[in-house]
Every structure is written in structure tokens, then in C-alpha cells.
């Protein structure tokens, strides 16, 4: 469904991605692991059209994405819940959600998506008319995911959804991601919490300084001694 081929991305004069290859099949949850600065967020941002490829291709169902502007990519069916949540703090929960639906003209579909998201995150429905800036971190994370889902995506890109959240909330958010996936949304997950991510995902890629250094089934990565030492050791 999504294919990244030999992708190179620069930030200024610095090469941030060095020819990475990643494949995501329909219906999968694929996780991208790696330390800070490995290029995980850059990878998601390049899929969304927020950073441009210097070389290589990104294909969605065979169609090139790397040549298109970001708003067209959302229309095609790819939405991101960004790192740090980036909710609009002076707007209400409902207004934030509606901004996620800016590419959709079908009012009935918008309503249907909104109701589905409130069923996934009942807390958001309770706080519909509250300003997003007054929500807790966990609620803001729910809102960031809900806002992305309002675009009716075929692929949901999640960038560090567990960052700064209490363990009980992390579990709840990951359970919801599983439910979203069962509804037919393919998920690409960038996550510091490697253990939780691998338990959720079908497959994983490990990145180090802009390169993919390993790819495997999630279960195999969980058992891999190198991964255990680097990412799962000592309860990190």
C-alpha cells in the first residue's frame, strides 16, 4: 500500500535520511523504532509531504506521493498525528476535530467519523466544547489522533503517541490504536516505547542515524537480543 524506495532527505546541508526502504501492506501496523535523531519523524514527515525527498520515491498504491503537496496527500488518504500533539489550544475540542476534516466535502461522512471518534474516545465527547489547551496530556493525545482520523485516512501516521503519558494512559491509547486498525485503517507508528510498539505491531523497522538497520516481524524483534539490549533493556 505504501512504499518508500531509496529515500534521501536533507535538512539544509545535512543528509537526514540515507536511502531508506520501507514497505507497509494494507491492514498492517508497522512500527519504526530508533533513538532520538534516528530519522523516524523525518520519515513520517516525508510521507506527508512536509519535507521533500532529494532522491528516491514514496508510492501510495503505486501513485507517487513525493511530488505532491501536503494537502493533496491528506486527500489521498494519509493523515498524521504529529509528535507533541500540536492541538490548537485556543480552539475547542470540536473545532480541532473539524480542522481535521478540511479535505472532506461529504457532510454525512464528517458526522459519521465524528461519532466514531467519540465512541473511541468518550472523554473527547464529554469535553467537546472545552478549549483544547485546558485538556490533560492524555486527552490532547486523544484529540490529536481524533483530528487525524477526521480526514478519513486509509493510513494513519502516529508520531510518539505515548510521549509523556502515564503508563495506564499509554495502554489505553495503544488499545484504541488496535481498534482503529481493526476498522481497516493501516497504521505506521513511530514510538520510543519499543516494547509496547512491538507488542502492537505486525512488523518493525529499526533506524539508526538516517538508515534502516533492521527489519523483521514484531515478535522476532521482541526476541532479538540486540533489540532487547538497545531498546528493551533495563525497563527503558
Distance separating alpha carbons of residues 176 and 173, to the nearest angstrom = 5
**Coil/strand/helix, residue 174:** helix
Distance separating alpha carbons of residues 192 and 67, to the nearest angstrom = 30
Of 74, 86, 19, nearest to 49 by C-alpha is 74
94 with 129: CB under 8 angstroms? yes
Grid cell at residue 212: 534502516
Grid cell at residue 95: 473545532
pLDDT interval class at 234 (50, 70, 90): very low
The pTM of the full predicted model, rounded to 2 decimals, is: 0.92
Say whether pLDDT at 150 is over 90: yes
Q: Residue 36's pLDDT is what?
A: 85
> pLDDT tens digits, residue range 165-209?
888 888 999 999 999 999 999 999 999 889 999 999 999 999 999
**Coil/strand/helix, residue 196:** helix
> pLDDT tens digits, residue range 15-68?
899 999 999 999 999 999 998 889 999 999 999 999 999 999 999 999 999 999
Distance separating alpha carbons of residues 146 and 87, to the nearest angstrom = 11
Amino acid at each position: 500500500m505504501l512504499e518508500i524506495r531509496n529515500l534521501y532527505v536533507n535538512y539544509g546541508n545535512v543528509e537526514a535520511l540515507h536511502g531508506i526502504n520501507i514497505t507497509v501492506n494494507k491492514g498492517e501496523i508497522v512500527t519504526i523504532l530508533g533513538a532520538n535523531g534516528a530519522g523516524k519523524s523525518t520519515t513520517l514527515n516525508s510521507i506527508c509531504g512536509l519535507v521533500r525527498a532529494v532522491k528516491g520515491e514514496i508510492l501510495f498504491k503505486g501513485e507517487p506521493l513525493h511530488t505532491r503537496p501536503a494537502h493533496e496527500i491528506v486527500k489521498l488518504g494519509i493523515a498524521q498525528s504529529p509528535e507533541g500533539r500540536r492541538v490548537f489550544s485556543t480552539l475547542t475540542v470540536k473545532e480541532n476535530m473539524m480542522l481535521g476534516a478540511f479535505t472532506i466535502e461529504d457532510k454525512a461522512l464528517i458526522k459519521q467519523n465524528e461519532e466514531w471518534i467519540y465512541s473511541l474516545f468518550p472523554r473527547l465527547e464529554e469535553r467537546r466544547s472545552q478549549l483544547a489547551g485546558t485538556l490533560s496530556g492524555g486527552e490532547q493525545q486523544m484529540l490529536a489522533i481524533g483530528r487525524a482520523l477526521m480526514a478519513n485516512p486509509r493510513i494513519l501516521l502516529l508520531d510518539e503517541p505515548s510521549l509523556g503519558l502515564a503508563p495506564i494512559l499509554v495502554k489505553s491509547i495503544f488499545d484504541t490504536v488496535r481498534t482503529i486498525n481493526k476498522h481497516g485503517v493501516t497504521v505506521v507508528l513511530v514510538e520510543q516505547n519499543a516494547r509496547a510498539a512491538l507488542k502492537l505491531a505486525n512488523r518493525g523497522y529499526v533506524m539508526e542515524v538516517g538508515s534502516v538497520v533492521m527489519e523483521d516481524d514484531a515478535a522476532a524483534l521482541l526476541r532479538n537480543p540486540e533489540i532487547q539490549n538497545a531498546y528493551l533493556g533495563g525497563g527503558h
